């Protein structure tokens, strides 16, 4: 049975400290065939982050040049730094039937919705403001003023979650992973992703009739 599957754009967003990175890692571990979109950013690497794996770390000048050349499917300025996704590699992967996972901010998600209307958007929520603050302070990587800024920005980010397709509350990691897996698998099963399946079955009726 012929089934030329079309890839999906799977977008995850969350305020800093909601645990999105852990959920992304678990999803990629379970579904290694998912292509991961590595964003460009002008911020400095944190901890063990590696160039080309976690982000493409570039200068502000290079980022702006790429933006002016129209190379980004989405871009945004967050916490004083620029982030963006090069659209060429994404289009190539989708054409190959590969799913593409995006780990981006709410501004980028909104732009991706315009660029790829069939994208599946998921917002990861913290269980409470108090827990979000505890997680941010527990990382030990940000200064107090940075944490305060992230908490202030989180309110607007959570408000933007109303525009997403699905909400996952990360209060229990295993349950959050189960919910995220369910959303991903449901997205893969939409008729638009499997046009070859329907065409093949209908052709059988025509041949039989």
- CA distances for 173 relative to 93, 127, 128, 131, angstroms: 29, 11, 15, 14
Q: Is residue 69 part of a domain?
A: no
Q: Is residue 180 part of a domain?
A: yes
The tens digit of pLDDT for each residue in 120-131 reads: 999 999 878 777
Contact 20, 103 (CB under 8 A): yes
C-alpha dihedral sign at 106, 159, 134, 182: negative
Q: Is residue 175 part of a domain?
A: yes
Q: Which domain holds residue 32?
A: 9-37+99-208
pLDDT for 4:
67
What average pLDDT does the structure give for the chain?
Answer: 88
Q: Which pTM value belongs to this model?
A: 0.80
Task: Categorize the per-residue pLDDT at 147 as very low, low, confident or very high, splitting at 50, 70 and 90.
Answer: confident
C-alpha dihedral sign at 37, 137, 26, 127: negative
Structure tokens at 77: 């300025």
* Domain total of the chain: 1
CA distance 135 to 150: 12
Q: Is residue 196 part of a domain?
A: yes
116 burial (CB, 10 Å; 0-12 / 13-18 / 19+) is buried
Query: Which CATH number do you get for residue 178?
Result: 3.40.50.300
């Amino acid at each position: 049975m012929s089934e030329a599957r079309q890839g999906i754009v799977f977008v995850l967003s969350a305020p800093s400290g909601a645990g999105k990175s852990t959920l992304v890692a678990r999803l990629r571990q379970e579904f290694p065939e998912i292509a991961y979109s590595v964003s460009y950013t002008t911020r400095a690497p944190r901890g063990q982050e590696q160039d080309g794996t976690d982000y493409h770390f570039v200068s502000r000048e290079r980022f702006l040049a790429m933006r002016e050349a129209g190379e980004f499917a989405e871009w945004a300025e967050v916490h004083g730094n620029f982030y963006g996704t090069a659209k060429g590699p994404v289009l190539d992967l989708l054409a190959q039937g590969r799913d593409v996972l995006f780990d981006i901010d709410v501004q980028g998600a909104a732009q991706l919705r315009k660029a790829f209307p069939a994208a599946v958007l998921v917002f990861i929520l913290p269980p409470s403001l108090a827990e979000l603050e505890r997680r941010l302070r527990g990382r030990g990587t940000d200064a107090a003023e940075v944490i305060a800024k992230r908490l202030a920005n989180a309110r607007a980010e959570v408000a933007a979650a109303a525009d997403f397709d699905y909400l996952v509350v990360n209060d229990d990691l295993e349950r959050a992973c189960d919910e995220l897996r369910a959303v991903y698998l449901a997205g893969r099963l939409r008729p638009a992703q499997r046009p070859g399946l329907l065409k093949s079955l209908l052709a059988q009726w025509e041949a039989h009739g």
